[in-house]
Amino acid sequence: MALTVLRNCSKVLKINVQKFTALQHVSTGVRHKTTIQYATRPDLPKLAYRKLNGKSPGVVFLPGFASVMGGQKAEALEEFCKSLGHSYLRFDYSGCGASEGEMGNYNIGAWKKDVLYVLDELVEGPQILVGSSMGGWLMLLAALARPEKTAALVGISTAADHFVTAFNSLPIETKKEIEEQGFWKFPTKHNEEGFYTLSVDFLKEAENHCILQSPIPVSCPVRLIHGLKDSDVPWHVSMQVAERVLSNDVDVIIRKHGQHRMSAKDDIKLMVYTIDDLIDKLTTLG
């Protein structure tokens, strides 16, 4: 049974004095960014990524839906990893950001393949996977597919099964209309249009990757951070993940005033402290 620990948002994870100085100076942007590189893959679009070489365990950041590797959390993590000398990689999914392709041509399965390619070809050794929103869903899928490459998981507003759950909660008549039209205007506050256009094929394919209906055989440490005021993905999704994961080392951290993007200064500090704590734990165990 997964051990779920609720931590008050005002509490700060313990870190040693030497590291505290470095962590204090982690901002929401990177002063000297790594350069964009492109991974060429047979029969697949080029994948854009930024890589920082360093010590193990490395950190890999997985963005959310329609998000890119240039977000505040992704950039702050690069600065943090650089300050401690650990390796770090962030990337854009197929069809997103600087990677090749059109976003509408890809789905959860394709983006899962992107993550597995990163783990198989672009990094060395077990990694701490940090997934934001949909990236939290993908990090769980990656951990199931590549347990030997997964040192720990950190989910930020984890959106496991989210599109499928949201669609299934609609009234029957609404679902019929969407199926007849062939697409769903999924409401969002995160773009000018006020919605994302999701095809019915996208939704059906996503069903193949749902994980919350049965135990999740992941045994590594898992940390799940979620905002109580998240109006996109309810915080109880992180609780469901914690309950399903088989690992005994699972903490759920609830931010009382946290919203979905968790990009406020204190949210980012909490994320960094959480990862720093995991690095200490993994280094000690190693």
Residue-wise pLDDT for 63-116, tens only, equals: 999 889 999 999 999 999 999 999 999 999 999 999 999 998 999 999 999 999
Please give the model's pTM, rounded to 2 decimal places.
Answer: 0.89
Marked catalytic residue, from 87, 251, 260, 276: 260
Burial 177-192 (b: 16+ CB within 10 A, else e): ebeeeeebebeeeeee
Q: Report the amino acid identity of residue 181.
A: Q
Beta bridge partners of 50: 36, 90
Backbone angles phi, psi at 240, to 5 degrees: -60, -45
Marked catalytic residue, from 92, 114, 161, 230: 230
State pLDDT tens for residues 248-281: 999 999 999 988 989 889 999 999 999 999 999 9
Please give the pLDDT value at position 188.
Answer: 81
State pLDDT tens for residues 17-61: 344 444 554 554 445 678 999 999 988 999 999 999 999 999 999
209 assigned to active site = no
Angle (nearest 5°) at CA 56 between 63 and 4: 60
> CB count, 10 Å around CB of 258?
24
CA distance linking residue 133 with residue 231, whole number of Å: 12
pLDDT at residue 14 is higher than 90: no
Please give the pLDDT value at position 190.
Answer: 76
226 assigned to active site = no
94 assigned to active site = no
Q: How would residue 11 be classed by pLDDT, with cut points 50, 70 and 90?
A: very low
Backbone angles phi, psi at 227, to 5 degrees: -90, 135
Q: How would residue 8 be classed by pLDDT, with cut points 50, 70 and 90?
A: very low
CA distance linking residue 79 with residue 76, whole number of Å: 5
Non-local (6+) Cβ contacts of 144 within 8 A are: 211, 216, 217, 218
Marked catalytic residue, from 67, 87, 94, 133: 133
